[in-house]
Amino acid sequence: MNILTSEVDYQVGDITHRGFVAFNNLTSPPRTGVMVIHEWWGLNDYIKNRAKKLAELGYVAFAIDMFGEGKVAGDPDEAASLMNAVLGDMDSGTKALQAGYQAFVDQPQVDAERTAAIGYCFGGAMALHMARIGLPLSAVVSFHGALGSFHTATPGSIQPRVLVCHGEEDSMVTMDDVAGFKQEMDTAQADYQVNVYPNAKHGFTNEAADENGQKYGLDLGYNALADNKSWDAMEALFDEVF
């Protein structure tokens, strides 16, 4: 399959952010676009490979850089520092998301009327934030993402279809958090679905989760069944929406 990839620089204020685009050159533009938001590790090879998988399905995938300058963390301390810099200033974080979205829809291959966003862990929280603040997306998917809100959506204001893929054994984002999220979505009158996968921990889609968990003493784990089922659920949602 003829998958083309490239890096795309865009500005957030005075800082250059380095996105990554992947698409199948054998399909005709404009194509449905999917924005991808990385984990706390940054825009690393794992996220780039997810973008390539989306391109294999016929989408234009644009992985944004939330940290700026293409920063990728080397350990959990650095990852936490980079992530918390965003979460501690969500006004700036929101601007980074908006700038990433604009760079995404500005890609000549992307049909700006047919867009979705997906995110992993930290990126899942950011994808849900995009839905809450009303960015014009048709679908949003969170994979083992944090579910707490930085913005209270008014009833009827969440326009995209929302899918949350969550591991039942996730000790970082608990089932109580899931219950709170459902209550929030019900109050906002959102069109949402929450899939809970048994025996799945935080990071269940990332094949490096087991190694990272053991290396750093984190309660992470890869689960191939949950990984595949959650990806299939995303595909089914996109088939319905697009």
- Per-residue confidence band for 10, with pLDDT thresholds at 50, 70 and 90: very high
Q: What is the mean pLDDT of residues 90-96?
A: 96
Q: Is residue 1's pLDDT more than 90?
A: no
Convert the pLDDT of each residue in 116-137 to its tens digit. 999 999 999 999 999 999 999 9
pLDDT at residue 29 greater than cutoff 70: yes
* 150-199 confidence digits (pLDDT tens): 998 999 999 999 999 999 999 999 999 999 999 999 999 999 999 999 99
State the chain's mean pLDDT as an integer.
Answer: 96
Is residue 90 predicted with pLDDT exceeding 90?
yes
Q: Delineate the domains of the chain, giving CATH numbers in brackets.
A: 3-241 (3.40.50.1820)
Give me the pLDDT at residue 213, please.
96
pLDDT tens string 204-224: 999 999 999 999 999 999 999
Nearest to 65 by CA among 13, 109, 106, 10: 10
Mean pLDDT of 65-86: 97
